[in-house]
Amino acid sequence: MENKKNKDNIRFAIKSQIVLYFLKGSTYLFLLSVVISFCVTFLELIGPKIVQYAIDFCISGAAGDAGSIPGYLKSFMDFLGGSEYLRAHLYLIALVIAVIAALQALCRYLFRLLNSMASEKLIQRMRNTLFEHIMHLPFTWHGKNHTGDIIQRCTSDVETIRAFISEQLLSLFRIIIRIIVAMYFMVHISGFLTIFSAVFIPIIVLYSSFFHIKIRDQFEHADSEEGRLSATAQENLTGVRVVRAFGREQYEKDRFEKQNQEYTDMWISLMKTLAAFWSSNDFISGLQVMLVTVLGAVVCVRGEITVGEYIAFVSYNAMLTWPVRALGRIISEMSKAGVSIDRLRYIMNSELEEDKADAKEPSLNQDIRFENVSFSYDNSTEGVLKDVSFTIKAGRTFGILGSTGSGKSTLMYLMDKLYTLPEDQGKIYVGDTNLSDIKTSHLRKNIGFVLQEPFLFSRSLSENIGITLKNPDMKEIRDAAKIAAIDDTIKTFTKGYDTYVGERGVTLSGGQKQRTAIAQMLVQKPPVMVFDDSLSAVDTQTDAKIRAALSEHIGDSTVVLISHRITTLMHADNIIVLDKGRVAESGTHEQLLEKGGIYKKIYDIQMQGVMA
């Protein structure tokens, strides 16, 4: 029991820390909102006392005990002329009530203004912080987490936390203030009635805490289901062409509806629990109001309190009805906010890519050496790479050939530090510098990557090609496009380089996307260029044209070609053949043909296809 309590305390402390972290920059606005909220509450609660004074001292003309009237209010009424004068000029009391109402309206306006400003600053900081953090998380982290779920955490969960802090949490402060001040006034009217009224508060809080646990667990499941639903929708929207091409509309529709049904069922179950909570809350609150009203009338008839005091007490008790009911509801909302905070904490606690304190920025115009490199994925029992060693000479063209799953792309991901090579699984060097000692941003800035499945943004062609340039220059963009053999194609488009590229380049063909991605990398002019099967979607003529243009314009850059196509690799200065994660063969095109191994067999098969 003690261990569970300690864990809950630690969990609360961690949640508090992340909330306080997000609140930086908006804390003072929220605190000012609390102060204004206190003013609103005080002005609301002083009204019944003025009505009590008017009834007991002005309308009825009783000179009775003024002990239940606050001293400052009595002094203010004396300042206005006292009970005798006010009896003859009741409009002054009405004017005071009107002024108080106007002040309430002003304070409510300031509260909503300040609260809205604080809320928007909070959500802005949360979004910016989460986006920046996610952008610097390791590539492997993104592979383990669905994009749809991440988006759902950064939208729905962020909104849940914002609503809790800006609405429920501030309401909690207002409720506590209102209960304390109202109880203070009520005790001065009748201690007995106050105790009777207060008995219901712990009852409501206790059963709210009971529902709090159930609601938290159900909301956590519902939130997870929403994340899966978002992931399913996002996956189908981005892959809509594949779905349509294979006639999988009905299958994906059924799959989405099944996930949607599970999500709906979770929310219906949660709503049943909330309905039970709210209805029981309303019943107990209504019972409390009725009993206090009846008991108060009995006490008033007995002469233990005046009519004005009775009206004031009933007014205060009615004012407590909403706060006490809201207190229970806020406890249930805390369940939702707690789940959302945990989901965001998962993102914020995920370790970022970090360089060593003394990370270096060496020139990438040096030999790149792989020495006894082995690597396996987290969910793989068998290594993808096994004791791989080779050298990529600076300024030369290096080819990598291998079947699917042989580890070709993994080698380049390791070289770009997208995957982290364990210390005991070999070494990768740039010149004499260990790759792990190189600053990651410097490394990626100097290694240009063109993937087999390039990603293009929803922007114009010129913006996509010049995306790495701080000040894009159309001449540089066109020169890169010419080398990538995409310039002539772009000229045939109605808007040319201003042609808008749909999401993920959906408006372009596979070959056009690959050539655009090549131009995107070439405009960067990196010292190391990696083409990861990035010519697979172009015909052999275009392939030869691009390679010829590259040979003429790359200068001293090191080029790494990864391909299944022998014609793409045959002019490389050195070629390695990967087989089941190992380097099976190495040499020039001619040397590999003479060996008569895997390379020769693939060459014969592909050449027969060309001859046919």
In percent, the amount of the chain with pLDDT more than 70 equals 88
The stretch 551-575 carries a mean pLDDT of: 83
Surface-to-core class of residue 606, CB atoms within 10 Å of its CB (0-12 exposed, 13-18 middle, 19+ buried): middle
Q: Where are the beta strands (DSSP E) in 422-510?
A: 427-430, 433-434, 447-450
The secondary structure of residue 306, as a DSSP letter, is: -
Residue 15: in which H helix or E strand, if any?
Answer: helix 2-23
Tell me the average pLDDT across 282-286: 79
Residues 6+ apart with CB under 8 A from 165: 19, 23, 30, 119, 122, 337
pLDDT tens string 479-538: 888 888 888 888 888 888 888 886 655 567 777 888 888 888 888 888 998 888 776 656
Q: Are 467 and 389 in contact (CB under 8 A)?
A: no
pLDDT band for position 149 (50/70/90)? confident
Choice among 68-82, 330-344, 584-598 with the minimum mean pLDDT: 68-82
Answer yes or no: are the C-beta atoms of 163 and 63 closer than 8 Å. no
- Mean pLDDT, residues 576-582 taken together: 88
Q: How confident is the model at residue 11 (pLDDT cuts 50, 70, 90)?
A: very low
Pick from 164-168, 198-202, 428-432 the range whose average pLDDT is largest: 428-432
Identity of residue 95: L
Mean pLDDT of 467-479: 82
- Decide which of 302 and 336 is more confident: 302
With a pLDDT cut of 90, the percent of the chain lying above it is 5
Determine the Cα–Cα distance for residues 228 and 256; give it in Å rounded to an integer.
Answer: 10
Tell me how many helices (H) and strands (E) the chain has.
24, 10
Assess whether pLDDT exceeds 70 at residue 332: no
Q: Range with the lowest mean pLDDT among 149-158, 373-382, 454-463?
A: 373-382
From residue 276, give the alpha-carbon distance in Å to each of 68, 75, 242, 459.
Answer: 40, 49, 46, 50
* CATH number given to 14-349: 1.20.1560.10
Q: In the prediction, which pLDDT does 245 show?
A: 66
Question: Which of 505, 218, 450, 183 shows the shortest CA–CA distance to 320?
Answer: 183
pLDDT, tens digit, for every residue of 91-125? 888 888 888 889 989 988 998 898 888 888 888 88
Query: With 50 as the cut, is the pLDDT of residue 9 above it?
Result: no
Res 13: pLDDT: 42
Q: Which residues, listed in sequence order, are joined to residue 360 by a DSSP beta bridge?
A: 438
- Judge whether residue 8 has pLDDT over 50: no
417-452 per-position pLDDT tens digit: 888 888 888 999 998 899 989 998 898 888 888 877
Q: Which two tokens stand for residue 255?
A: 């799959």
Q: What single letter denotes the amino acid at residue 309?
A: E
Tens of pLDDT, residue by residue over 588-604, are 999 989 888 888 888 88
Owner of token pair 């990196």: 526
Write the pLDDT tens digit of every residue in 348-401. 888 888 888 888 888 888 999 999 999 887 756 677 888 889 999 998 889 998
CA distances to 57, 308, 355, 459 from 86, rounded to whole Å, are: 9, 16, 78, 73
The pLDDT of residue 7: 41
Query: Mean pLDDT score of the chain, rounded to an integer?
Result: 80
Between the CA of residue 119 and those of 88, 166, 443, 450, what are the distances in Å? Answer: 49, 6, 40, 42
Fold matches, 14-349 and 368-611: no
What six digits make up the tokens of 51? Answer: 């009505």
| Alpha helices (H) along 525-597 | 540-553, 566-569, 589-595
Residue 12, judged by CB atoms within 10 A of its CB (0-12, 13-18, 19+), counts as: exposed
CATH code for the part of the protein at 368-611: 3.40.50.300
| Length in residues, the chain | 612
Q: 3-class SS at 555? A: coil
Q: What is the mean pLDDT of residues 55-70?
A: 61
* Region 317-335 average pLDDT: 71
Tally of CA atoms within 13 A in the half-sphere of 321 that contains its CB: 19
The pLDDT value given to residue 12: 43
Domain segments of the chain: what residues?
14-349, 368-611
Q: What is the mean pLDDT of residues 37-51?
A: 81
Judge contact between 345 and 158, C-beta under 8 A: no
* Residue 347 · residue 388 · CB < 8 Å: no
